[in-house]
Amino acid sequence: MHPLSHRQAVLGMLVVTLLWSTAGIVSRHLDSAQAFEVTFWRSFFLALALAGYFIALHGRDSPQLLKQGGKALWISGLMWSVMFTCFMVALTLTTVANVLITMSIAPLLTALLARFMLGHPVALRTWAAIFVAGAGIAWMYGSSISGEGTHLLGTLVALGVPIAGAINWNTLQRAGKSVDLVPALLIGAVISSATALPLAFPFQATQHDVLLLALLGVFQLAVPCTMAVRLTRSLAAPEISLLALLEIIFGIAWAWLGANERPAPEVLTGGALVLTTLALNEAWGMRNRGVR
């Protein structure tokens, strides 16, 4: 594969976050599938899609892919499984707002780990963007956070997503361009579905639910996650994590269009702050690199 320019990689991440953002609104249209059943079916169809992709691309050599990545491949696979599982379980326990707020700490965790795992200095503008974007997201959802009952449990489960994500992005970058870690997605999908299966019984999903979860497995996970892994070769880990915050903005738009959930004024204000921060950070970064 030819390396992407920084601008192409940023545009790629915009597509990735747009696809990732569909999980919340689709999950709200499920009929009867419960937490671990939702996780099982989504990860199961993700595994099927990735297995088909590798067979079509590599044929009988596909199993060899699991032997070439070494330790980094299996660490990344484990982290993907944590992210896949925690995200969907959390969505069934608490509001989308609680889950997204918890996920918003991912850039800070990623930047901190990048200093220790990779020895990468974090630009002052990136630190500033991380904190401003986080403040914008907190303002967007501050009035709807709940710390009672299952909401607290859901928020704690959601915490696994940014922690695993920070470890994952830095692991991908530390492995370098010579190692293909896309197979880690398949490992993560298999672990996630296998872990959720015993807890998913008795199955309650309707055919409508299974169809929606199949679409999530392919288009909300398989396609964008494969793209995201490839994009780690062109974008720094903190930058990827920061751009991933756009998933929150796009998620609001999906809810508005697909569920008639009109955002409150503070949501619009906070969203504008996040988008402006990301745009300025990227524009300044491209200027410093001489990107046109």
* Cis-peptide into 121, omega within 30 deg: no
Question: Which pLDDT belongs to residue 44?
Answer: 96
Question: Which pLDDT belongs to residue 80?
Answer: 92
Cβ count within 10 A of residue 271: 21
- DSSP string over 43-77: HHHHHHHHHHHHHHHHGGGGGGHHHHSHHHHHHHH
Question: Which pLDDT belongs to residue 27?
Answer: 86
Question: Which pLDDT belongs to residue 141?
Answer: 62
pLDDT by residue for the chain (292 residues), tens only, comes to 566 888 889 899 999 999 999 988 888 888 988 889 999 999 999 999 999 988 888 887 777 777 776 888 899 899 999 999 999 998 888 777 678 777 877 777 887 787 777 777 777 877 887 788 778 777 766 655 555 567 778 878 988 998 998 898 888 777 766 666 778 889 999 999 999 999 998 899 999 999 999 999 999 999 998 898 888 778 877 777 778 878 878 887 787 787 776 766 776 777 778 777 777 776 676 566 554 4
Question: Which pLDDT belongs to residue 40?
Answer: 96
CA distance 183 to 167: 17
Residues in the chain, total: 292
Question: Which pLDDT belongs to residue 218?
Answer: 94
Question: Which pLDDT belongs to residue 50?
Answer: 92
DSSP character at residue 144: G
By the 10 Å C-beta count (0-12 exposed, 13-18 middle, 19+ buried), 6 is classed as middle
Question: Which pLDDT belongs to residue 197?
Answer: 95
Q: What residues contact residue 249 under an 8 Å CB cut-off, 6+ apart?
A: 21, 271, 274, 275
260 is written with which tokens?
Answer: 């008639």
Question: Which pLDDT belongs to residue 286?
Answer: 58
Single out the residue of 133, 173, 134, 160 nearest to residue 39, CA to CA.
Answer: 160
By the 10 Å C-beta count (0-12 exposed, 13-18 middle, 19+ buried), 189 is classed as buried
Q: What residues contact residue 123 under an 8 Å CB cut-off, 6+ apart?
A: 285
Q: What residues contact residue 65 under an 8 Å CB cut-off, 6+ apart?
A: 54, 58, 180, 183
pLDDT tens, residue by residue, 37-53 = 999 999 999 999 999 98
What is the SS3 assignment for 94?
A: coil
Question: Which pLDDT belongs to residue 292?
Answer: 42
Cβ count within 10 A of residue 94: 23
